[in-house]
Amino acid sequence: MTYTIIVLPTALKMLKDISDRRIQTKIGQIIDGLAQDPEQKGKPLWDELSGLRSIRAMGQRYRILYMVDKSVVTVYVVAVGIRKDGDRSDVYRLAQKLVRLGIA
Protein backbone atom coordinates (compact mmCIF):
# COMPACT_ATOMS: atom_id res chain seq x y z
CA MET A 1 0.00 0.00 0.00
CA THR A 2 1.34 3.43 -0.94
CA TYR A 3 0.80 6.30 1.48
CA THR A 4 0.24 9.90 0.44
CA ILE A 5 2.85 12.22 1.94
CA ILE A 6 1.88 15.67 3.17
CA VAL A 7 4.63 17.96 4.42
CA LEU A 8 3.08 20.43 6.83
CA PRO A 9 3.97 24.12 6.23
CA THR A 10 6.13 24.31 9.36
CA ALA A 11 8.15 21.25 8.31
CA LEU A 12 8.49 22.63 4.77
CA LYS A 13 9.91 25.88 6.17
CA MET A 14 12.32 23.91 8.39
CA LEU A 15 13.49 21.95 5.34
CA LYS A 16 13.93 25.09 3.22
CA ASP A 17 15.92 26.73 6.05
CA ILE A 18 18.63 24.07 5.67
CA SER A 19 21.30 25.88 3.68
CA ASP A 20 23.03 22.82 2.17
CA ARG A 21 21.09 21.69 -0.93
CA ARG A 22 22.69 18.23 -0.76
CA ILE A 23 21.20 17.70 2.69
CA GLN A 24 17.82 19.04 1.54
CA THR A 25 17.83 16.59 -1.37
CA LYS A 26 18.76 13.61 0.79
CA ILE A 27 16.10 14.45 3.39
CA GLY A 28 13.57 14.83 0.56
CA GLN A 29 14.45 11.36 -0.69
CA ILE A 30 13.96 9.90 2.78
CA ILE A 31 10.60 11.67 3.08
CA ASP A 32 9.58 10.25 -0.32
CA GLY A 33 10.56 6.79 0.94
CA LEU A 34 7.98 7.07 3.72
CA ALA A 35 5.30 6.35 1.11
CA GLN A 36 6.07 2.64 1.58
CA ASP A 37 5.73 1.07 5.05
CA PRO A 38 6.18 4.27 7.10
CA GLU A 39 5.51 2.45 10.36
CA GLN A 40 8.45 0.13 9.76
CA LYS A 41 10.97 2.92 9.08
CA GLY A 42 10.83 5.25 12.05
CA LYS A 43 10.76 4.71 15.78
CA PRO A 44 7.69 5.68 17.79
CA LEU A 45 8.05 8.63 20.14
CA TRP A 46 6.49 8.86 23.60
CA ASP A 47 5.24 11.30 26.23
CA GLU A 48 4.24 14.63 24.72
CA LEU A 49 5.22 13.44 21.23
CA SER A 50 3.31 10.15 21.32
CA GLY A 51 1.65 9.48 18.00
CA LEU A 52 4.69 10.79 16.13
CA ARG A 53 7.56 8.77 14.72
CA SER A 54 11.18 9.75 14.12
CA ILE A 55 13.56 8.68 11.38
CA ARG A 56 17.23 9.58 11.15
CA ALA A 57 18.81 11.27 8.15
CA MET A 58 22.25 12.46 7.06
CA GLY A 59 24.53 10.47 9.29
CA GLN A 60 22.05 10.47 12.14
CA ARG A 61 22.41 14.23 12.66
CA TYR A 62 19.03 15.23 11.24
CA ARG A 63 15.62 13.89 12.23
CA ILE A 64 12.35 13.76 10.35
CA LEU A 65 9.30 13.65 12.64
CA TYR A 66 6.09 12.36 11.11
CA MET A 67 2.65 11.00 11.90
CA VAL A 68 0.93 8.10 10.13
CA ASP A 69 -2.83 8.19 9.62
CA LYS A 70 -3.92 4.72 8.47
CA SER A 71 -7.57 5.74 8.05
CA VAL A 72 -6.72 8.02 5.11
CA VAL A 73 -3.42 6.29 4.15
CA THR A 74 -1.42 9.47 4.70
CA VAL A 75 1.91 10.40 6.26
CA TYR A 76 2.15 13.91 7.72
CA VAL A 77 5.69 15.26 8.04
CA VAL A 78 5.57 17.48 11.12
CA ALA A 79 9.18 18.64 11.62
CA VAL A 80 12.64 18.36 10.08
CA GLY A 81 15.80 19.42 11.86
CA ILE A 82 18.99 18.74 13.73
CA ARG A 83 19.08 16.72 16.92
CA LYS A 84 20.83 18.96 19.49
CA ASP A 85 20.08 17.53 22.91
CA GLY A 86 19.54 20.33 25.41
CA ASP A 87 19.62 23.07 22.76
CA ARG A 88 16.68 25.41 22.09
CA SER A 89 16.83 24.52 18.39
CA ASP A 90 16.59 20.75 19.00
CA VAL A 91 14.03 19.29 16.59
CA TYR A 92 12.26 17.39 19.38
CA ARG A 93 11.91 20.52 21.49
CA LEU A 94 10.51 22.42 18.49
CA ALA A 95 8.08 19.58 17.80
CA GLN A 96 6.86 19.72 21.41
CA LYS A 97 6.06 23.41 20.92
CA LEU A 98 4.14 22.57 17.72
CA VAL A 99 2.13 19.93 19.57
CA ARG A 100 1.32 22.36 22.41
CA LEU A 101 0.14 24.94 19.85
CA GLY A 102 -2.02 22.31 18.12
CA ILE A 103 -0.11 22.59 14.83
CA ALA A 104 1.04 18.97 14.89
CATH number at residue 77: 3.30.2310.20
The pLDDT value given to residue 84: 87
**How far is Cα of residue 4 from the mean position of the Cα atoms in its chain?**
15
Closest by Cα among 25, 18, 5, 11 to 94: 11
- Asked if residue 7 lies in contact with residue 35, where contact means CB atoms within 8 angstroms, the answer is no
Q: Which residues have a Cβ under 8 Å from the Cβ of 9 and sit 6 or more positions away?
A: none
DSSP letter at 41 equals H
The pLDDT value given to residue 88: 81
The pLDDT value given to residue 6: 98
The pLDDT value given to residue 43: 96
Task: State which residues of the chain have pLDDT below 70.
Answer: none
Q: What is the pLDDT of residues 27-45, one digit of tens each?
A: 999 999 999 999 999 999 9
The pLDDT value given to residue 59: 80
Q: Are β-strands 4-7 and 74-82 bridged in parallel, bridged antiparallel, or unpaired?
A: parallel
- C-alpha Rg value of the chain to the nearest Å: 13
Which residues constitute the domain of residue 87? 4-101
pTM of the model: 0.93
Q: How many domains does the chain have?
A: 1
